[in-house]
Structure formats: C-alpha cells, structure tokens
Amino acid sequence: MLATSPAFKENAAHALADPSLQKALHRTRPQNPAKRAAAVAALPEFEQLRDIGRDIKNHTLANLDFYLETWETNVLKSGGHVHWASTADDARTAVLEICRKAGARTVTKGKSMISEELAINDHLEKHGIEPIETDLGEYILQIRKEPPSHIIGPAFHLNREDWEESFRKVHTHLPADRVFAERKDIMTEARELLRSKFLAADVGITGANFLIAETGSSVIVTNEGNGDLTQTLPRVHIVLASIEKVVPTLEDATSLLRLLARSATGQDFSVYTTFSTGGRRAGDLDGPEEYHVVVVDNGRSAMVGTEFQDMLRCIRCAACMNHCPVYQTVGGHAYGWVYPGPMGSVLTPSLIGVDKAGHLPNASTFCGKCESVCPVKIPLPKMMRHWREREFERHLSPQSVRTNLSLWAFVAQRPALYRLATRIGAKALSLLGRGRGRLASVPFAGGWTGGRDLPVPEGETFFARYARLERSKRS
C-alpha cells in the first residue's frame, strides 16, 4: 500500500474539512470507549489480566525463535504447510504461488490487516485472480476502492447514506427502488450476494489473531462468521500472519482472547472464535483440503531487541485509536498507511521508515489515554518519544524547530540570562496587550493565534516580583 504519511498535515486538513467524515467520527467517538468501559467494569480481574497479557507477550518475544519453530513443527505435524516470508514481496509471491497451484480464479478473504500491509488484493488482481472481501466493512471498501480507516471497524469513516449509495451504484441487478430502512437491510443484501461467492471460491485467505505454538493452530475472531465461511468452504485455506502473532499455549491464547474483545468492542467474547489446525482429516465433515500459513516478517524482527520491541505485544484491538483524541479528530485515513492511531504512530515508522512516517509520532499530545487502555500495556507515548529521538538524532526534525530549541536551551541553562529574557518578554507582551488581557494575533505565533487568542502575561515575571517583595521585606 502506497503511504501518504508524509502528507499527514494535508491529510488532516482535508479530514477536518470533510463534513461526512466528521459526522461519522462524532457518531463513533463516544460509543467505543463506553462499550469498553462497561465490559471492563464487569470483569473484576481485568487489570490483572492486562499484566498477564503483557507477560505472555513479553515471554514469547524473548523466545520468539523457539516458539516460531515449535509452532512450525506442529503445523507440519498436523498436515499443514508453512511459508516463511521475510519481505512483503516474498509474502505476495508465496500467496500467488499457492493460488496458482490451486488453479484459483476467485479468492474470498476474511478481514486481515496484514493483507492490507502486503497489498495482496492488488497483486492477485494484477495476475488475473479476483479477490473478494467478505467482511462487511471490507466489502464496501473494496467497492469504493478505499483503504480501511480503522483496524477493526475498517469502514467506521462511512455513514449509512454512503453505504446505500455504493450498494445502489454497484448492485445494479437489484430493483432500484428497494428500501434500506435499517442497517440490517444493508447486511442482508451483502450477505445474499456473498453467499454464491463463498461457494465458488477456490481459495480462502484469512488473517490470524494468534498462532499457537503447542498445537500449530491459528485463531481468528469475527462477529459476522464470514471468516469461517472463508476458511472452511474453499479447497485451499491460506492464513496470513505476522511473526509476533505466535503465543506458546492454548491457555495463553484464551487469556489474550479475554482481553481482546473487551478492549476492542466491549464484548465479553467475539461472536465467532475459530481455531484451525491443519486441513481436513479423514473423517472430517468439512474443512479445506490444504492449509497454508504465510508467516510474514516485513521489518518486525528488526524491532526485536530495540526500544520498539514492546510494540510487538500489540493484539490489534484498536482500543488505542478508539480512545485517541487525535484519531477521533482526524480519522484513520489521515495517518496515510495501514495502521492508524497510536499503535500506527509507533508501528508505521518501524515498517516504512521514520523518514516517511515522521509526522505520526509527532502528532500526539502525549495525553496517555492510549497506554491507559492498552490490554497489553504497551507504553505507546514513550515509544512515540523514542521515534522523536531518532528523528532528532538523524536531523529529520524541521530546522526551525531545532533552531528554536537550541536557542531556548542555551538561555534556559543560564538562570541569570533566562531571568532577563523572560522579564523583557513578559513585559513586552503585556505592553502589546495594553490591558486587553489577550491578543488576537502575535508576530510569529500564527500557529497559536490562528484559532485562539493569546492570553497576555501579567507583565512582571514571578521571579522579578518575588525579588522585589523580598527586597521590600528586608528594607
């Protein structure tokens, strides 16, 4: 997927001026945090579970090679196939190869963010294979040729009228005067159309929420059941998973599942949680004949052992973006690549380079809400700050910022000079204010005064007044 992250500012300006997007954001903004809060309140051990989740992931990451090898051994034992992909290119090639061997003409897909990262759909289309998104949100985005704006609610940026419009435009074989009275009508139409696609598909591609080392299983959670139809009906099932999805045991996976749905949607559990272990065995009533897992690195192993390793704990629940005031103001597309919000602001620079994604870790107020709701306690603000440090070291931060900062640092490290500079500055601003209390514009402060007045300082600094009072006490 082509990154527009370097144009974050322009993207954000566009988003702020888009009434339809703002309407959608204002609709979802209060809902998701409220649902999570209710689910968390109903589970007394939730805080303890967060520690457990963090520890499971930390332990796995500390022994990642061991658990990936154990997992591979067990996949092979259960008759499955494992394809290791260092790069996005390797992964695309592996997927295409499997599809070609299967003689695939159409491929159904469950929702998978890694497939967005790999731009699998474009690759398959280019080679004459039709991918069909079966998650309702992904389905409409495929129709509209838009990327997801959210990692669990890919079409959160759309309103109902957008859905209706797109469905009417594309589903032209249906009566033009049909009525969409409620959300259910949209769902029913999509469901009926997708049914034949599920049955016709030669290959089904899903993501994985977890890979389980001790059994060689992959796990997906969905609320629509589309993932199950995608992975059981076609002859071949391909799982796309990144390396950090592995966990040691079934027990570990269930601990994390208890955190996942509550953090994501406020459900105790997702509607469908499906474990796949190999393909169809003799005597099985259903299931694919072939079970393949394409395991993708694409930059992740380079994060291991660095200050960004903790990011690999992420279980993709989206709580951070659901609670992020910046995400809730500009939406997901502004971030310009696959992963938006706080988790994206840490992960994207790791995967596409901080030179391209430098805005993302800067576009945060460090309010800390994301970290406070993260089910595996990822210190997101801290890691965004680490990215700012890398930028600063590599001289990627704007020269104006660096100049102002070094001037300020020079003065602030010399208290006597600092006293003088602040005394003059405070006095000058207060004179400029002439008793009005605020300034509507100040030279070189357009960033502040574009949408805010600048309250005028009292005039005499604290230290000047304090010194004056001390002197008068003594005399």
Partner 1 sequence: MDHITAPRPRVALFVTCLVDFHRPSVGFAAIKLLEAAGCDVEVPRAQTCCGQPAYNSGDRATAAAMARGLLEAFGGYDYVVVPSGSCAGMIREHMPHLFDDDPNTKARAEALASRTYELVSFLTDVRGQIAVQAAYVGTAVYHDSCAGLRELGIKTQPRDLLASVAGLKMVEMKEPEMCCGFGGTFCVKYPDISVRMVSDKTADIVASGADILLAGDMGCLLNMAGRLSREGSAIKVRHVAEILAGMAGATPAIGEPTP
Binding site for partner 1 (CB under 8 A): 9, 12-13, 16, 325-326, 329-330, 362-369, 371-372, 385, 387-393, 397, 401, 405-406, 408-409, 412-413, 415, 418, 422, 425-426, 435-438, 440, 445-458, 460-463, 465-466
Contact between 212 and 253 (Cβ < 8 Å): yes
Beta carbon of residue 32, minimum distance to partner 1 (angstroms, whole number): 13
Local structure of 403: helix, strand or coil: helix
Beta carbon of residue 331, minimum distance to partner 1 (angstroms, whole number): 11
Contact between 302 and 87 (Cβ < 8 Å): no
Beta carbon of residue 52, minimum distance to partner 1 (angstroms, whole number): 22
Decide whether 299 or 457 has the Cβ nearer to partner 1. 457
Decide whether 325 or 353 has the Cβ nearer to partner 1. 325
Give the helix/strand (H/E) hosting 291.
strand 290-296
Decide whether 183 or 438 has the Cβ nearer to partner 1. 438
Decide whether 32 or 232 has the Cβ nearer to partner 1. 32
Beta carbon of residue 314, minimum distance to partner 1 (angstroms, whole number): 20
Beta carbon of residue 311, minimum distance to partner 1 (angstroms, whole number): 17
Local structure of 275: helix, strand or coil: strand
Local structure of 240: helix, strand or coil: strand
Going 404 to 407 to 413 to 415, the CA torsion angle's sign is negative
Beta carbon of residue 319, minimum distance to partner 1 (angstroms, whole number): 15
Decide whether 139 or 327 has the Cβ nearer to partner 1. 327
Contact between 194 and 140 (Cβ < 8 Å): no
Contact between 107 and 203 (Cβ < 8 Å): yes
Would you give the DSSP letter of residue 374?
-
195 phi, psi to nearest 5 deg: -55, -50
Beta carbon of residue 33, minimum distance to partner 1 (angstroms, whole number): 9
**Cα–Cα distance, 203 to 76 (Å, whole number):** 20
In this structure, the number of other CB atoms found within 10 A of the CB of residue 268 comes to: 11
Decide whether 6 or 457 has the Cβ nearer to partner 1. 457
Beta carbon of residue 357, minimum distance to partner 1 (angstroms, whole number): 14
Residue count (the chain):
475
Helices (H), ranges, 171-218: 183-200
| Contacts for 339 with CB less than 8 Å, ≥ 6 apart | 113, 117, 151, 347, 348
Beta carbon of residue 53, minimum distance to partner 1 (angstroms, whole number): 20
Strand 272-276 versus strand 217-222 pairing type: antiparallel
Beta carbon of residue 390, minimum distance to partner 1 (angstroms, whole number): 7
**Cα–Cα distance, 399 to 428 (Å, whole number):** 27
Q: Which residue type does 112 have?
A: S
Beginning with the edge strand found earlier in the chain, give each strand of the sheet holding 236-242 in spatial order: 81-85, 290-296, 236-242, 203-206, 106-109, 130-133
Contact between 34 and 152 (Cβ < 8 Å): no
Provide DSSP, 417-440. HHHHHHHHHHHHHHHHHTTSSEES
Decide whether 96 or 363 has the Cβ nearer to partner 1. 363
Decide whether 101 or 468 has the Cβ nearer to partner 1. 468
Beta carbon of residue 302, minimum distance to partner 1 (angstroms, whole number): 20
Local structure of 455: helix, strand or coil: strand
Decide whether 193 or 367 has the Cβ nearer to partner 1. 367
Decide whether 145 or 434 has the Cβ nearer to partner 1. 434
Decide whether 62 or 467 has the Cβ nearer to partner 1. 467
Give buried/exposed letters for 436-459 (b at 16+ CB in 10 A, else e): eeebeeeeeeeeebeeeebebbeb
